[in-house]
Structure 1
Amino acid sequence: MKKIGFLSFGHWSDTRGSATRSASDVLLQSIDLAVAAEELGADGAYFRIHHFARQLASPFPLLAAVGARTNRIEIGTGVIDMRYENPFYMVEDAGSADLISRGRLQLGLSRGSPEQVMEGWRHFGYVPAEGESDADMGRRHAETFLDLLKGEGFAHPNLRPMFANPPGLLRIEPHSDGLRERIWWGSASDATAVWAAKQGMNLQSSTLKADETGEPFHVQQARQIRAYRAAWAEAGHTRTPRVSVSRSIFALTNDTDRAYFGLGDGSDKIGVIDDMRAVFGRTYAAEPDRLIELLRADEAIAEADTLLLTVPNQLGVDYNVHVIDSILTHVAPALGWRDDAVRLAAAA
């Protein structure tokens, strides 16, 4: 059994064929898609964050709005670039959004990805320390954020405060119990997956990975997941970690599906991203019976407990509801990922 959700990059552009012509469109449609996905019985609504781009950026207003409009579905990010974040203010935002959703927040963090502008984090006021890379800075911000989420007091109270304080050192408020265990790290390499395990974070592995062995993408990703779980056990954590993988998966059930996705070559791609040789996972697009065969051979999906379906958000809410429903209805039960009776009960 797997949790199945969607991951939206939140693109918008005022171009022909786009159902998201503005930032307002993509924000409001993101909320609508999350509500519809919950009604279908999906498990998660996740959003990718990019700065200086015509995509979703500041995550917490959106996450709070989705939390207020839904009741069951997990709400998360995949991922927040920690080079741009003030960990102290982020704890306030995350705690508020988690309380609004009644404990459904699943925050994916990372050191970041290629940017729209040169060293964009500098414009947000953050500069690596001496001898530190921007990636190091992002991981340092993440470690501070994780420490603050524990909810322990650290700040000395004012002797003449505006309002009465509780005794002892003060923590950042609002605090949300349990959120620390719902933090994920988006990892592109085996080494950072091991680091995430040592930090006690869940693992998000995306549709690309550092090409470390030359093997197919799903084989390398499965090896990364196993290395992560071994490091988690070695670190002595007591809870069971969660692992998600992202995939572009389309069941071709009508002519519209075939027109959009029926001409892909179905192979991994090799490229360079941030001076790193990377392998990009294939898009799975086929008739349901053939799609089931292809997905059964994906080793990383088999290893993960959570699958995030990357959705083409510019095609609009209705079409993306169809994409998600096709997987939940025609594919997931046949692969043993979901019990259809359970899905229907959740949707009800």
Structure 2
Amino acid sequence: MKNIGFLSFGHWSPSPQSGTRSAADTLLQSIDLAVAAEELGADGAYFRVHHFARQLASPFPLLAAVGAKTSRIEIGTAVIDMRYENPLYMAEDSGSADLIAGGRLQLGISRGSPEQVIEGWRYFGYGPAEGETDADMARRHTSVYLEILRGKGFAEPNPRPMFPNPPGLLRVEPHSPGLRDRIWWGAATDATAVWAAQQGMNLQSSTLKFDESGKPFSVQQAEQIRAYRAAWKEAGHERTPRVSVSRSIFALMDDRDRAYFGGNGESKDQFGYIEQDVRAVFGRSYAAEPDKLIEQLKTDEAIAEADTLLLTVPNQLGVDYNAHVIEAILKHVAPGLGWR
């Protein structure tokens, strides 16, 4: 069995070919797609967070709205860039959204990805302390956030408050019990995956990873997952961790599918460079008839290692088409792989 959800980047464009021509279109269709995915039996609705772009950004209003419209499906992010976040304010927002959803949030957080603007976090009022890198700052924000989620009091109460206080030091409210165990770290390297395990966070690994060995993407990602699980065991955490991977997977069921994705052919991993001349490996996409797709996916080591699979969806093609994409995987591919 495997948890299967979708991951939307939430693009919009004024182009006549786009099904999402405005931010409002993207937000409202994201809610509708989560509702449709739940009705189809999917396990998760996840959303990417990008600042300064025509994509989904501030996640908590959307997560709260999805939580209010659904009853079962997990609701998450992949990922929130912690360089941009005030950990205390984020604890309030995430606590509120999680309570609205009845404890279904699965929040992916990370240092973030290459940005639309130079040092965009500075416009949000944040900057590394002396001797820190921006990655250090993200981890510092994360450490504060994780500690706040424990729900322990830390703030000295006013002796003359507007409203009566409970005894002792005060905590950030609202507090959502259990959310601390549903925080995931998006790791691009083996070292950051190990760090996430040490901090007691679940692991998210996407369709991109820093190239650390020259091996195929799924092999490197599977090795990352094994390193994470070994570090988790060594840290002595009591609960069982969760691991997700993301993939672009399309079952060619009709002429629409073949028109959109049939030309992908035998997609292969791509090696290239991203920010700061870092060599990375980008995982292949999958597009084929269900029987062929099943045989191809059997060879993906990382999917086999993970308990959760997030299907990246082309959100600009509209809710109905993306529901079709999700349904095709759930009904015609997942059973053949033992996932359903």
| Equivalent in 267, 280, 290 of residue 278 of structure 1 | 280
SS in 1 for 2:312: strand
Q: Is the deviation greater in 183-192 or in 256-265?
A: 256-265
The CA distance in 1 between the partners of 2:331 and 2:152, in whole Å, is 45
Whichever residue aligns with residue 303 of structure 1, its letter is E
Q: 1:128: how far off?
A: 0.2
Q: 1:272: how far off?
A: 1.1
Name the structure 2 match of 1:266. Answer: 267
Name the structure 2 match of 1:344. Answer: none
Deviations 1:11-64 (A, max 9, x none): 000002100000000000000000000000000000000000000000000000
Is 1:331 aligned to 2:333, yes or no? yes
Q: 1:252: how far off?
A: 0.4
- Correspondences of 1:148-167 after superposition (within 5 Å): 148-167=148-167
SS in 1 for 2:248: strand
Name the structure 1 match of 2:140. Answer: 140
The CA distance in 2 between the partners of 1:16 and 1:299, in whole Å, is 40
**How many aligned positions are there?**
338
- Correspondences of 1:48-197 after superposition (within 5 Å): 48-197=48-197
SS in 2 for 1:181: helix
The CA distance in 2 between the partners of 1:133 and 1:195, in whole Å, is 16
Whichever residue aligns with residue 319 of structure 1, its letter is Y
Gaps (5+ residues) in structure 2?
none
The CA distance in 1 between the partners of 2:177 and 2:275, in whole Å, is 36
Whichever residue aligns with residue 339 of structure 2, its letter is W
Q: 1:193: how far off?
A: 0.1
Whichever residue aligns with residue 333 of structure 1, its letter is P
Q: 1:269: how far off?
A: 0.6
Identity %: 79
SS in 2 for 1:238: coil
Name the structure 2 match of 1:292. Answer: 294
- Correspondences of 1:177-256 after superposition (within 5 Å): 177-256=177-256
| Equivalent in 304, 309, 312 of residue 307 of structure 1 | 309
Whichever residue aligns with residue 328 of structure 2, its letter is S
Deviations 1:241-269 (A, max 9, x none): 00000000000011110111111141001
Whichever residue aligns with residue 178 of structure 1, its letter is G
SS in 2 for 1:266: coil
The CA distance in 2 between the partners of 1:194 and 1:270, in whole Å, is 23
Please list every run of at least 4 consecutive aligned residues from structure 1 whose deviation after the TM superposition is greater than 3 angstroms.
Answer: none
TM normalised by structure 2 equals 0.99
Name the structure 1 match of 2:323. Answer: 321
The CA distance in 1 between the partners of 2:160 and 2:173, in whole Å, is 19
TM normalised by structure 1 equals 0.97
Whichever residue aligns with residue 326 of structure 1, its letter is A
The CA distance in 2 between the partners of 1:188 and 1:75, in whole Å, is 22
The CA distance in 2 between the partners of 1:274 and 1:302, in whole Å, is 30
Whichever residue aligns with residue 281 of structure 1, its letter is G
The CA distance in 2 between the partners of 1:78 and 1:214, in whole Å, is 25
Deviations 1:154-213 (A, max 9, x none): 000001000000000000000000000000000000000000000000000000101000
The CA distance in 1 between the partners of 2:317 and 2:27, in whole Å, is 14
Q: Is the deviation greater in 257-266 or in 214-223?
A: 257-266
Name the structure 2 match of 1:16. Answer: 16
The CA distance in 1 between the partners of 2:156 and 2:144, in whole Å, is 18
Q: 1:273: how far off?
A: 1.5
The CA distance in 1 between the partners of 2:159 and 2:148, in whole Å, is 23
Gaps (5+ residues) in structure 1?
339-348
The CA distance in 2 between the partners of 1:135 and 1:269, in whole Å, is 25
SS in 2 for 1:263: helix
SS in 2 for 1:79: strand
Q: 1:274: how far off?
A: 1.9
Whichever residue aligns with residue 279 of structure 1, its letter is V
Aligned-residue RMSD, C-alpha = 0.5
Q: Is the deviation greater in 272-281 or in 288-297?
A: 272-281
